[in-house]
């Protein structure tokens, strides 16, 4: 029973090591780009998603997404966040969807940012059903799903960013209302922007690490037997 308790505790410890895998950085005070969809009346809204690139260098389990948004004219905040992870986005080519989802209970907190004098900023943060990404370069896309107002994801120059690449301008925007289909933000808009969004998760332990852990548990068990 003691061995089982030790293994259970170790399992909880491993599972609790979630961290920020990637964060593009804090708002740079420059701008924001519309990132909103409307699942109720999709034909009447921008239905826009903003994408920014990130790289994982080892097999990584993802369990959360987050981003900094501004809202205009919406006294009741939406808590529904749409997210995608894609590979291979190039100008006017959306590449391949790797994972996506919609969460209806995102945590929304004021981040203290204000754009255009009166429009407040909010951090949207949500857990997602965990999945594993193989090493490589991907694109994270975010949008708020709402019934009444505009949401804009904040631009960043990489300040306090985590992971890579940061501030490289390799971002994209797709918008049904504006006829934009995976337009390059750096080429088709005024500026080479990255965006304030990110992912939470943890590296997947390699088999050798599990083997070492198992030996440690067995060794601990043997020591306990000798004491008795």
% of the chain at pLDDT higher than 70? 78
Distance CA 171, CA 169 (A): 6
**When comparing pLDDT for 15 and 145, which is higher?**
145
Concatenated DSSP letters of 104-171: S--EEEEEEEEETTTEEEEEEEEEEEEEEE-SEEEEEEEEEE-SS-EEEEEEE--TT-BSS--S---E
**When comparing pLDDT for 56 and 18, which is higher?**
56
How far, CA to CA in Å, does 13 sit from each of 10, 16, 219? 5, 5, 19
| Position 177 confidence tier, pLDDT thresholds 50, 70, 90 | confident
Question: Mean pLDDT over residues 160-168, rounded?
Answer: 97
State pLDDT tens for residues 85-109: 999 999 999 999 999 999 999 999 9
Question: Exposed/middle/buried for 102, CB within 10 Å: 0-12, 13-18, 19+?
Answer: middle
Question: Mean pLDDT over residues 141-162, rounded?
Answer: 92
Does the structure show a pLDDT above 80 at 159?
A: yes
DSSP E strands in the chain: the ranges are 19-23, 27-34, 36-37, 48-56, 60-72, 80-87, 96-103, 107-115, 119-133, 136-145, 150-156, 171-175, 180-184, 194-195, 197-203
* pLDDT at residue 17 in the model: 64
Distance CA 147, CA 134 (A): 36
* pLDDT at residue 43 in the model: 58
Give the N- to C-terminal CA distance of the chain in Å, as an integer. 15
Does the structure show a pLDDT above 90 at 70?
A: yes
Does the structure show a pLDDT above 50 at 1?
A: no
| Position 180 confidence tier, pLDDT thresholds 50, 70, 90 | confident
| Position 190 confidence tier, pLDDT thresholds 50, 70, 90 | low
Does the structure show a pLDDT above 50 at 113?
A: yes
């Amino acid at each position: 029973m003691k061995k089982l308790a030790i293994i259970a505790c170790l399992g909880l410890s491993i599972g609790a090591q979630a961290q920020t895998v990637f964060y593009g950085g804090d708002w740079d005070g420059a701008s924001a780009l519309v990132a909103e969809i409307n699942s109720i009346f999709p034909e009447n809204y921008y239905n826009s998603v903003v994408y920014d690139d990130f790289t994982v260098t080892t097999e990584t389990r993802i369990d959360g997404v987050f981003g900094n948004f501004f809202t205009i004219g919406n006294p009741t905040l939406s808590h529904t966040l749409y997210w995608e992870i894609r590979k291979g986005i190039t100008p006017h080519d959306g590449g391949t969807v790797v994972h996506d989802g919609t969460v209806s209970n995102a945590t929304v907190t004021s981040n203290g940012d204000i754009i255009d004098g009166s429009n407040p900023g909010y951090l949207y943060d949500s857990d997602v059903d965990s999945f594993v990404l193989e090493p490589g370069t991907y694109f994270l896309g975010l949008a708020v799903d709402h019934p009444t107002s505009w949401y804009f994801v904040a631009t960043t120059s990489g300040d306090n960013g985590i992971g890579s690449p940061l501030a490289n301008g390799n971002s994209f925007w797709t918008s049904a209302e504006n006829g934009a289909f995976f337009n390059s933000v750096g080429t088709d808009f005024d500026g080479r922007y990255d965006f304030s969004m990110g992912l939470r998760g943890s590296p997947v332990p390699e088999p050798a690490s599990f083997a070492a852990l198992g030996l440690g548990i067995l060794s601990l068990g043997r020591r306990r037997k000798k004491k008795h």
